Each structure stands twice: as structure tokens, then as C-alpha cells.
Amino acid sequence: MMCAGIIAKHTDPRAESIVSELCNWLEGAGRKVVLDRETASLVGRADAVVRSQLPDHCDFLIVIGGDGTLLSAARVVGTSGKPILGVNLGSLGFMTAVTLDELYPALDRIFRSDIDFDERMMLVAHVHRLGERVANYTVLNDVVINKGALAKIIDIKTTVGDTYLSTFKADGLIISTPTGSTGYSLAAQGPIVYPTLHSILITPICPHMLTFRPLMVPDSMVVRAELASKETDVFLTLDGQVGFGLREGDVIEVRKAHSTLRFIRSPFRDYFTVLRTKLKWGER
């Protein structure tokens, strides 16, 4: 852990001073620092790299922002296996579980090798159109099929493995990892799934029939969802950040990715503490 890569939410007004102080602290401790270009521009450093190449130049990444910033960084880390320390600029996040006050104590532990890791599964989504693969994505949270504001309820024919599941009549469908269970799926009344479980969660969005319920399947299965409606205002959204327009007959094939994402576990609180804090369990 001799070299730290840094990605910060550069639109946050606090990011400049936080990144500057962090770079000085790391280099004062004899560690190397590398930043992506957006983060480097905050502190006037010229020794920056393109964000997509950042994992090639560091041993681990410090991601400063919120869960959205971390999701963006996760796409950069991809299959590199480089661990991520998520630092939240505001309240605790489900993935950015270290606060600013805890950043330097956490780094001290990292450099003493006094840390644990969580291996989080990711999903790969392929879009097939007329028998051709037209798009390919890797996500940490979820793959979402949803209609536009003016579109009618859509039909999504869904199979799990080689078995027909159902044709969902709904505003959309969420296929998520356990990590993503506390995102859009939770807002759609899906269950909270412990993040290291080996499962894929299928959650309909505002289904036309109340008998449609969320479903968990083993992560060894492949989920296929075919857009069976003629609506043109339908989109595939990846981790809430990347969009792809869908057409009738498009098939979205979702399976577990071969690689996992390594999170540096917070040494200060466990997952259940984060849940109680974020969801205010036990408060009146």
C-alpha cells in the first residue's frame, strides 16, 4: 500500500482543501499519490492521469464524496482488484462508511495492514437486439429497465436460467446485487440483502398487479428480461448513472461478473450500525 489513488467529488466546495491536505499528509508519511485529472485540477497538480488509467498507477483508491461518487469510481476500478476506501463528505453512506473525521485514523490502520476487506459481487449486463449484442456494462448496484414520464405500463418478459418466470406489467424492473439492495430496489419495496450474500435480486417497479413481489435467486443463475412492449420511451439505466435506449424485442441478459470489487471495511462500525444510522431504526 505504498501508493494511493484519489478520486474526489470535484463539484463539492470542500473537496479542494480536503484533497490538498490529504496529499500533503500522504506524501509526508512517505507514500506516493496519484490523482485523476478532475481531482488534480482542484489542487493545481500536473502529475495526473486519465481516470480510466488510475488503477494502473496505485495500490488502492481513496474515493471522497458519496455513494454516487463511489459507483462512478467502481466502474473505473473494474476488474483490477484494487481495493477502495470510501469516504463520505456528508452523512454516512451505505458504501462510503468512513467519515472525514475517521479518514486519517483509517489510513493509519491501512498502512499497518490492520484492515479487513469486503468482496462485493458485480453484475454484467448485455443488451441483445435482433440477435446482435449491442451494449455491454458492468455494474455494482443495479440494472434498471424503466419507462419515461409519458410512457404507459410496459411488459417485461423475464426468465431465470432456462425457466420462464413471468411477464411483469409494471413501470419497470430492477435487477440488483446485494450491495444495490439499499438503493433503488429498497425504494421500490425490495428487501435489504446483506452485501456479501451470493444472490441476485429482481424487484418490479410499481407493478400493475399486487401479486408481483421481489424475488431473490442464486447468483449462479442468468436473468433475461425482454422488452415485450411497443413503447419507445423505455431506457436501461446502469447504476443510476449510464443510460441506454431500448426497443421492443431487446433482451437484457444479466449475470454475475467474474470479478468482485474489494471494499476496505470501516474499522469503526459494522454494516448493521450503518443500517441503523441511515434508516433511523429504533428512533421515535
The string of pLDDT tens digits covering residues 201-212 is 999 999 998 889
In-domain check, residue 14: yes
Write down the pLDDT at residue 221.
98
From residue 120, alpha-carbon distances to 95, 151, 160, 265 in Å are 10, 34, 22, 11
C-beta of residue 103 within 8 angstroms of C-beta of residue 25 = no
Write down the pLDDT at residue 150.
74
Residues 32 and 83 in one domain: yes
In this prediction, residues 268-278 reach a mean pLDDT of 90
Domain region containing 109: 3-116+265-279
- Report the C-alpha gap between 200 and 178 in whole angstroms: 7
Residues labelled as active-site residues: 67
For a pLDDT cut of 70, what percent of the chain falls above it?
100
Residue 243 is part of a domain; what is its CATH number?
Answer: 2.60.200.30
Residues 94 and 131 in one domain: no
The string of pLDDT tens digits covering residues 144-166 is 999 987 778 999 999 999 999 99
Write down the pLDDT at residue 67.
87
Residues 131 and 249 in one domain: yes
Query: What is the tally of structural domains in the chain?
Result: 2
Residues 76 and 131 in one domain: no
Residues 251 and 145 in one domain: yes
Residues 174 and 214 in one domain: yes
Write down the pLDDT at residue 94.
86
Residues 153 and 199 in one domain: yes
Residues 152 and 217 in one domain: yes
In-domain check, residue 284: no
Write down the pLDDT at residue 81.
87
* Burial environment of residue 81 by CB neighbours within 10 A (0 to 12, 13 to 18, 19 or more): exposed
Residues 135 and 246 in one domain: yes
